[in-house]
Structure 1
Amino acid sequence: MSEPRVAMPLDLSLDPQSALPVDFIGGTTAVCDAVLRLRGEALAQELGRLARDLLGSPDGRYVPGPGLVEPGLSPAGVLRCAVTAGIEQFGWYEVSGPASYGDDAQRRLGSLAHLTASLMQMHALAQRSTHAYAQMEAQLAHQSQILDQIHESVLTMDQMGYITSWNRGAEALFGYSALEAIGRNILFLYADEDESVNDSFAEQGGRMMEVRRRKKSGDVFWASLSLSPLRDLADRPTGLIAYLTDITERKRAEEQLHHLAYYDELTGLPNRTLFARLVDQGLTVAQRNDGMGAVLFVDLNRFKRINDTLGRRIGDELLRQAAQRFRDTLREEDVVARLGGDEFAVGLFDFRQHFEATTVAQKLQAALDAPFMIGGHDLRVGASIGISVFPQDGGDAETLLGLADIAMERAKATDADPDRSVAFYSQDMNKGMQERMRIESGLRHALGNGELVLYWQPKFEIASGRIVGAEALVRWIHPQRGIVPPGEFIPLAESSGLIVQVGEWVLEQACAQAAIWQRAGLAPFRLAVNVSAREFTAALPVRVADTLARYGLDPSWLELEITESTLMHDFERVTGIMDRITALGVALSLDDFGTGYSSLSYLKRFPIHTLKIDRSFTTGIPKDASDCAIAGTIISMARQLCLRVIAEGVETLDQLEFLREAGCDEVQGYLYAAPLPAYEFERGLRENWLLVG
């Protein structure tokens, strides 16, 4: 038992407004100190002493614990007062000795009991809170140990995605320590930037999903992720808890199974099952866009003989290489598959004319022209191709594939050259395709056998009536058919890509002819050469410069006519090409103006010298008010931009008079002269036309 403390003398005089003596109120620290510092018998003795001092009684004690206590003065002269707070009783005070106690003594003892009870209640509450916090800390430490012992990665984050906890499983999975991870936003672990942290599913309770994450080493892996909301005591969301497990091996296994199920093991191309799915998806999009689709059935010729003679190893390698050539030939959005054996299929979408499928078929056949060098053998195969078209022939992949197979058999049986045999399932399409193929084949032959010639249509200045230039127009002199109209072969050359070769030939021949006239002493005038969009590449300025240099031709002889559609793609690239051409001294003219985009913005930004009014507007002049308005507007706008204007297709004096009054600079058309061969054009220059000097 501790020694009783020596109490300071208490002046028991009362403050009229207080329940306790004034000096006692100032010394309540003694009671506080006792309750906070002492326990058991020592506390009881100290509280008893304080009670004796307060009442000046020789006998007084504090009895801890609950009990039945009658408050007030007992018949035996003992004054008692319970120490209670609410329904909780901590003990009671009792003092005795004097003959009697008055109301003042009872009030003092009651106030001491009330103070003691309040202090004991607060102390008990503090002890319980401390104990609860200790238990909570122990529980958290216990839970942390549990989380650290499991292999699963567990982390928590606040509502903004900032990490608030990070277990050892997360350290092992990601390679970041808790010190490195906590406080950073979860986004630094993402491998895919389009993922969202606070998904709505997390607010509703969580779900499982598969995600890609990045480790500290930079490696990307697949993880199974479960997100659940964290909530406070008021059930308000405060963040998320994430559970992650590495499932990379499982994903690889799934991908392998998927590849085996949907891809050809030998070539890596889609198999028939996947091909049907992809084509059906493509047809759905084509239908939505009012477009067309096509399925090409490709059968390799002579493969079976090679495979039977040289063995499966050589045959397999031949199939692999053929598949790669097909893949390199097609666009990224096209679908190519191996159906089995030496049979392949191609799905085409997003085209407008069925004959465009013919061009693709010919490209696939051309891809097989070069020999295959395998195992020291020079191997050659070709392909017969059948085509079915959506929606005319069928509405789904399997139907179209079956019909394309029938068309392929028809192509192989009816064509003298199986390696160039192509057939549509529809007889009407077949007839049109055969005609196109006949023209295309003839055009290829014409390019190499001198069947193409240049005609020249002069351009006249309205004000002076003098010739200021001429347009080079290609003509095909067919040995059996005679002159083939340009409308028959130019569109085909555009769709097949032959227009590039035709354009190169025209530029070469135009410069060669201009060089002849230059050496003959004719004054320079612009010879216009049409350039297609396919030709308008970075190589064009180099080709023009080389051609001029090869013939020693002054650039003032040459003008290139380009269409509006050429200017609508990749402004910076097109501008760079045009600047390089004009830097050579070659003029640029914008052909068919008004039929395309007719954007005013590029007219002031591109180095164009001349606008050509399309014949579709000239034809209606002067009777058609709309054509007159359009032509007049083009001329007025060109004059404002300091550009020259030429109208093509002028055939009547009324048309000429309208254009003259509107301020048009030049014209060309049958009113003045039809396109002429070079010798007739030169004769006209020397005999009948005046040249601009």
Structure 2
Amino acid sequence: MADHPVSDFLSHSAAVCDAVLRLRGSAMAEELGRIVRSVTNSPLGEYLPADAVSLLVAPPVEEIVAANDAAVPSLTQDIWFEDRYFGRFTVSGRLGYSDADRQHLASLATLAGSVLQVHSLAQRSTHAYVQVESQLQHQAQILDHIHESVVTMDMNGFILSWNKGAERLFGYTSVEAVGRNILFLYDDEDIDAHDPFLEQGGRLMEVRRKKKSGEVFWASLSLSPLCDLNKRSMGLIAYLTDITERKLAEERIHHLAYYDALTNLPNRTLLTKLVDQALMVAQRGKLQGCVLFIDLNRFKMINDTLGRKVGDELLCEVARRFRTVLRDQDLVARLGGDEFAIGLFDLGQHFEASMIAQKLLATLNSPIMIDGHDLRVGGSIGISVYPQDGDDAETLLRLADIAMYRAKQEGGVNGDHVAFYSQDMNQGMQERMRIETGLRYALGNGELLLHYQPKFSIDNGKIIGAEALVRWRHPQRGLVPPAEFIPLAEATGLVVQVGEWVLEAACAQAKLWKDAGLPPIRLAVNVSAREFTASLPGRVMDTLNRYGLEPSWLELEITESTLMHNIDRVIGIMDRITALGVTLSLDDFGTGYSSLSYLKRFPIDTLKIDRSFTIGIPSDANDCAIANTIISIAQQLKHKVIAEGVETVEQLAFLKNSGCDEVQGYLFSQPLEAAAFELALRENWTPGRASRAA
């Protein structure tokens, strides 16, 4: 057989490469079989893949099967590449194969093995790449579907990846963000040289960032290191979540906790913190400081008369005016109601606080126009000084409050006044607190009692009623003067509890007198402005029913000032009381601000002439004129008139000639205990006998 030309072998080699790279399965086996038949010029020949060859041990590199005379010779060549077996070539059908045939078949097997190895490696690489690509796609889908923003960047802050959460949060697409430095997302105020993105991670912080729209928002930022296959840090992974709503909620809660909702000034809690901080600075600098406690004058009357809306606007305007005369470093706070506090520090001398206090009062001199009302308020200011009065905020506030009460006493209800704290004020406040504590104890421990001052008819001298007056029998001090504890009860609100006790005790005593067979008399009970609420008629009715008393046993005395707050509401309450059959008496008439146009609408039975007018009768012409006017008004309005504080026969004669109906006073009797009053009632004192007994 002739040798194979080189060109034929090269073409066969190219055909093997093409078959391995282009074909798969049986098509590749058939093509390789065709090639080996052509190379060996054999009618029969095939390629058997490794999985079709059953081998127990590695066969020799080549083998010629020399059959007996009857067998057809064949040529077989296994295909190996390094340690990997790929199958075998087998050809047959010719009589005898030369060494050249065996060499060509071996060369072709070597080529096929190398090509099959390369192809196998390529397939494995492709498969691995497909798996990696699929895994990356899955991870990208996971990152894109989580709500959190995930951003990766290198050690210099340049963005490497940008998920869908980041696109939603910032408004930039990945195309716009990847490759840029992370600083473009920063709010201008947050850019500094020490950037947390460039640290090694493991931190959780709250930061401000900027969206594509320019909106600045709060984000929770968590950083983790981005590592390569060798666990070396190559950048950072940033996880960001929008927490703007939570931050705003926290700010609202903080504002509610530390600021007055009406004036937007710091409240007492924040003022205390700020004053304590300022005191530490003042201590280091050996400076003086002052706390001013301000209480507005006439505010309550305005608020009760014109309503809370007007009162609130008034407080806001006062706060604004105070702020205009203070320095930026001065503290101003609203403590509640109509009370304000000022913290002054960095003062050379404490008397400078007095100058500032006068400026504050001066801001209140000009009228405040609200809803067409020309309103005027003043103020009483108490001042405590650091360090001589105290070295902490609570102490200075407490002492300034004490000084404010002294300022209010010295300036009067409508007078503007300033007072510095002094030790004697504290002693007075301690006495006030001692009385208040004692009064609270007295209410629950039977130390209060009633005295009854008889009321007499001028016409016949008969006792027609009595005014129930509360007294306090202290276990150590004896009888405490009413002037000592009644104003305190009014200031602290205890007057409501005292008033409830008086109504209860008066009705209980009337029940005893009724059961004893005494004729009905009117027991007058004083009702304070604090008690005069919508619940009063129901309380009166319940008390009368509980003791089985007719309404004719009870009279309620109210003051002019009570009637001047919310007229329609007051008249409604009065109508409900008189509907019960209980009479109403207007006490201290002429001393308040009542209007005659209102007076005719009030369902009252009696006007009481205040003792401040009675005392000047008959020598003082003005008091006489006022008394005559009150009596005349009452007669025109079909009201009875009673004069209190009658102490002389001359006063009695004038009042009788003027048409006064009833009198009470020391000319007839001082207030009596229940037993003494009952005795007087049984004897039915005449004015002359009562005078001698008194």
Q: Give the TM-score of the pair, scaled to structure 1.
A: 0.51
**CA 1:326–1:38 in structure 2 vs 1: closer, same or farther (change >3 Å)?**
same
1:42 matched residue in structure 2: 27
CA displacement at 1:166 relative to structure 2: 4.0
- 1:206 positional shift: 4.4
- Kindly state the Cα deviation for residue 304 of structure 1 after the two structures are TM-superposed: 2.6
Alpha-carbon distance in 2 for matches of 1:425, 1:107:
126
Contact 1:71 1:80 in 2 (8 A): no
State how far apart, in whole Å, the 1-side matches of 2:275 and 2:331 are: 7
Any idea what the Cα deviations from partners look like across 1:480-515, whole Å, max 9, x if unmatched?
Answer: xxxxxxxxxxxxxxxxxxxxxxxxxxxxxxxxxxxx
The answer (yes or no) to whether the contact 1:302–1:381 under 8 Å persists in 2 is yes
In the TM superposition, 1:140-289 aligns within 5 A as 140-195=136-191, 200=196, 204-289=200-285
- Code of the aligned partner of 2:65: A
Match in the other structure for 1:298: 294
**How far apart, in 2, do the equivalents of 1:400 and 1:85 lie?**
98
Aligned to 2:420: 423
Question: What is the one-letter code of the residue matched to 1:71?
Answer: P
Contact 2:382-2:403 at 8 Å conserved across structures = yes
Counterpart Cα distance in 2 of 1:281 and 1:114: 91
Distance 1:137 1:75, change over 3 A: closer
Say which SS state the counterpart of residue 193 (structure 1) adopts.
Answer: helix
Residues 132 and 421 of structure 1: CA distance in aligned 2, closer, same or farther (over 3 Å): same
Residue 381 of structure 1 is matched in structure 2 by 377
Give the residue type in structure 1 aligned to 2:420: A
Change (3 A) 1:28 1:402: farther
Contact 2:227/2:233, CA 8 A, preserved across alignment: yes
Q: 2:128 aligns with which of 120, 132, 138?
A: 132
Which shows bigger deviation, 49-58 or 81-90?
49-58
- By how many angstroms is 1:348 displaced? 3.0
Report the Cα distance in structure 2 between the residues aligned to 1:95 and 1:425, rounded to whole angstroms. Answer: 127
**Counterpart position of 1:348:** 344
Helix, strand or coil: the match of 2:361? Answer: helix
CA distance in 2, matches of 1:154, 1:413: 68
Cα distance, 1:75 vs structure 2 = 6.6
Please state if 1:76 is matched with 2:65: yes
Q: Which secondary structure state, in structure 2, belongs to the residue aligned with residue 261 of structure 1?
A: helix
Checking the alignment, whether the CA contact within 8 Å between 2:287 and 2:346 is kept in structure 1 is yes
Cα-to-partner distance string for 1:161-208 (whole Å, 9 max, x where unaligned): 344444444444444444444444333333343246985588554455
> CA offset at residue 82 of structure 1?
4.0
Asked whether the equivalents of residues 296 and 404 of structure 1 are also in contact (C-alpha less than 8 Å), the reply is: yes
Residue type of the alignment partner of 2:363: A
**Aligned length, in residue pairs:** 411
**Residues of 1 paired with 2:353 and 2:13: CA distance?**
103
Separation (CA, whole Å) in 2 of partners of 1:329 and 1:361: 10
Aligned partner letter, 2:48:
V
Per the alignment, residue 364 of structure 2 pairs with 368
Identity of aligned residues (%): 62
Q: Which of the residues 315, 319, 327 maps onto 2:311?
A: 315
Deviation at 1:321, TM superposition (A): 0.8
Q: Paired residue for 2:585?
A: none
**How do 1:583-598 and structure 2 match up within 5 A?**
none
Residue matched to 1:330:
326
Aligned match of 1:406 in 380, 402, 406? Answer: 402
Deviation, structure 1 residue 403:
2.6
CA distance in structure 2 between the partners assigned to 1:349 and 1:114 by the alignment: 99
Name the CA distance, whole Å, in 1 between partners of 2:331 and 2:121. 76
- Tell whether the 8 Å contact from 1:64 to 1:92 is kept in structure 2 after alignment: yes
| Shift in Å, 1:387 | 3.1
Q: Which residue matches 2:479?
A: none
Name the CA distance, whole Å, in 2 between partners of 1:136 and 1:73.
Answer: 42
Query: Which residue number corresponds to residue 531 of structure 1?
Result: none
- Helix, strand or coil for the counterpart of 1:421? strand
Contact kept? 1:81, 1:92, Cα under 8 Å: yes
Partner of 1:557: none
CA spacing shift, 1:282–1:87, aligned 2, 3 Å: farther
1:296, 1:386 within 8 Å by CA — same for their partners in 2? yes
Aligned mates of 2:361, 2:138 — CA distance in 1? 72
Q: What's the secondary structure of 2:65's corresponding residue?
A: coil
**Which deviations, in whole Å up to 9, do the C-alpha atoms of 1:521-561 show, x marking residues without a partner?**
xxxxxxxxxxxxxxxxxxxxxxxxxxxxxxxxxxxxxxxxx
Tell me the amino acid that sits aligned with residue 264 of structure 2.
G
TM-score (norm 2): 0.51
Q: Please report how far the alpha carbon of residue 331 of structure 1 lies from its aligned counterpart in structure 2 after TM superposition.
A: 2.4
SS of the residue corresponding to residue 317 of structure 2 reads helix
Consecutive unaligned residues of structure 1, counting only runs of 5 or more, are 1-8, 13-21, 428-693
Equivalent pair of 1:161/1:198 in contact (CA under 8 Å): no
Task: Check conservation: 1:72, 1:81, Cα contact below 8 A.
Answer: yes
Give the deviation of 1:263 after TM superposition. Answer: 1.4
CA 1:44–1:335: 2 relative to 1, 3 Å? same
C-alpha contact (below 8 Å) 1:368/1:380 kept by paired residues: yes
Distance in 1 (alpha carbons) for counterparts of 2:107 and 2:388: 105
Which secondary structure state, in structure 1, belongs to the residue aligned with residue 260 of structure 2?
coil
Distance 1:425 1:110 in 2: 121
User: Take 2:29 and 2:284, find their aligned partners in 1: how far apart are those partners?
Assistant: 93
Counterpart CA distance in 1 for 2:123 and 2:193 is 42
Q: Give the corresponding residue for 1:440.
A: none
Aligned to 1:18: none
CA apart distance, 1:391: 4.2
Taking a change above 3 Å as real, the CA distance of residues 109 and 348 of structure 1, as seen in their structure-2 partners, is farther
Measured at CA, do residues 118 and 306 of structure 1 come closer, stay the same or move farther in structure 2, by a change above 3 Å? same
> 1:477-556, aligned counterparts within 5 Å?
none
Query: 1:244 and 1:256 mapped to 2: Cα distance?
Result: 23
Deviation of 1:344 (Å) = 1.2
Greater shift after overlay, 317-326 or 415-424? 415-424
